[in-house]
Amino acid sequence: MKTRLALALTGSILALLAPAYAGTKTIPAQPVTDINTAGDAHPANITFSNYKLYFTATDKGGNTGIYVKSLTKGNLHVADPVLNRKPGRIRNLTKKGVTKVADNFVRAFDVNVADKMFFHVQGEGVYTTKGSAMSTIRLLKFDSLHTTEGFPFDPGIKPYYMGDDKHTMGIVFAGKTAKQGVEPFVSNGKPGAKNTHIVRDINPGVNGSFPYEFLARPSGTAPDQIFFGAYGANFYQLYRTLDGTSANTAEVALVSRTDSGNANLNTFPFGFVLAGSDVVFAAGGNLNNFNREVTLYDTNNNLAYYLTSTGVNPSSFSSGTGSLAYFAGTDPTYGNEPFTASSFSQTAGYRADIVANGGSSLPKDFKLIGSEVYWLANNGTGYHLYRDVSFDSPQKIVSITNADIVVTEYIGVSESTVYFVGDDGSGPTLWQIDNTVATVQATQVKTGQGFVVKNPSHLAEVVNLTGATFINRVYFSCSGIGTEHEGKGEELWVFQP
C-alpha cells in the first residue's frame, strides 16, 4: 500500500562502486601499541584513514588524547602493522584533570586525492587533521553540550561529494552559532566563512532547527543531495539541500503529524537510508495514533509515500542490495522481525520470522557486507548473528561445533570476511567467518601461540582511498588476558588471517 504525500524538487543519481583489494600476509592477533605502560589505555574511536590509524587512548599519567599511527613506509603500503613506529598524540583532551570527549570520527574520501579526517570534541567544535598536531585545525567552534533549548546535540558529521572539478569531498554537520542556534553546516575541510558555513537558517532565532541524521545521495557529477530531519515551520519534517546553499535547501515533504508539537514529537521522521536511489525511513501521519510507518521518498519524481499502514513502527534501518532497505518492523501476525522495503516495487513487508507463532526476535544492527545483509536477532537465548540468504530462511552463525554464539558487536572488513565478538558459553572472544562461502560456522581468532582473544571491543576495519574495505584486517581494543601478551593492559590490537 502506498499513499501520496507531497511534491518537491528534482534530481538524478549515478551509483559508484569502488574496487576492493585483498591483503595476503597473515598476522596473528597481537598488540600494536603500548600507550599506557602502567595500566589500561582503553583505545576507542578506532578509525583508519589514508594509511593512518586514528584512535583515542589514555596514557599512564591519566591524560586522554587523540593518537595517530602511520602504516606506511615511503609511499608504499606495508603489511606489517607495527613498523617499530610509536603512535603520536596529535591532540590532548585532558586539561587540568578534566577530559573532554571526542567523537564523530569521520573520513571523507576523494577520487584519486588524499582523503581527509574529521572529528568533534564536545564543548569545542569540529576539527580536521592530516595526522599531525600542526595539521589539526578547528573548522567551527561551538559547544554541543549546552544550547538555548537546554539539551545537548550530536553534530552527526557525514561526508559528501561537493561536485566540483577538484573532486572535493566535504562534510555536513549540525553546528551552532550564538545568533542562529543549531543549524546545518557544510565544510570543504578549511576554516573561514567561505569554506565552513551554515547551509540555511531553517528555524530563525537563537534556538535553531536541530538538524539530524544527514544522508548523502549520490547525483553523478553534481553535488550529492543531502537529506536530513529538521525543525521548521511544520515542526520536524524531511529536508533536502541540493548544493549546500540556502536557496536550494528546503522542506521536501510533510511526513509527520503537524496538528500539535506533542504529536509531531511522537511521529517525526528518522532512520534515513538509501534504497537504490530513493530514501526509506520511519514517519507517521495518521491523526488517530502515534504509529510510524515505512516511508519512501522518491528522489526522481519527488514524491513521498507511506508503504505500510498497520503500525509497523520500523527502526534500525540499513541499506541492502539493489533497491532494498532492511529494518526491524512489527506485524500483527509475525511480531517484531526483520523487514525489507523495495524502492522498485514501492512495497514493504516482513523478511524472516525468526521467533514463530507471533513471537518477536527484536532484530537490530542491520549491515550490508559485500552482497550479504547481516543482523542481530534474539531467538530467546540471546542475540545471535544472522545472514540473509533467501526469504524467510536466514542463516544463524554458529561455532564449528554448532554451538550457539551470543553476539555483542560485529563488523565486515571486506567482501569476504566478517568479525564479531561472541560468547559460546566460555566468555566473549573474537570470531571470524568467511562471507564468500555458504558455511555458517565461525572460528575463533587466536594469537601467535594459539590463545583465543578474550573480551575484545571497538572493532574497526581498514579502508582504502575510495572508501572500500581492501584488506581482511581488523583492529580492536583488547587486554590480552589469558594470552602471551597478558600484563600490558588494554591496548590497540590487530589481526589479519
The reported pLDDT for the residue numbered 24 is 46
Per-residue CA distances from 339 to 118, 287, 402 (Å)? 34, 25, 27
Grid cell in block for residue 440 = 555458517
DSSP 330-355: EETTTEEEEEEEETTTTEEEE---SS
**Structure letter (DSSP) for residue 392:** T
More confident call, 325 vs 88:
325
Indicate whether 18 pLDDT > 50. no
Indicate whether 44 pLDDT > 50. yes
DSSP 222-286: EEEEEEEEEEETTEEEEEEESSSSSTTEEEEE--S--S-HHHHHTT--EEEEEETTEEEEEE---
Indicate whether 2 pLDDT > 90. no
pLDDT tens string 263-312? 999 999 999 999 999 999 999 999 999 999 999 999 999 999 999 999 99
pLDDT tens string 438-455? 778 999 999 999 999 999
Contact status, residue 233 vs residue 239, Cβ threshold 8 Å: no
Model-level pTM? 0.91
Indicate whether 463 pLDDT > 80. no
Contact status, residue 244 vs residue 186, Cβ threshold 8 Å: yes
Contact status, residue 209 vs residue 153, Cβ threshold 8 Å: no
Contact status, residue 83 vs residue 77, Cβ threshold 8 Å: no
- Which residues fall within 8 angstroms of residue 463, CB to CB, at 6 or more apart? 48, 49, 107, 109, 469, 470
Q: What percentage of the chain reaches a pLDDT higher than 70?
A: 88
Q: Provide mean pLDDT across the span 4-23.
A: 31
Q: Provide mean pLDDT across the span 217-235.
A: 93
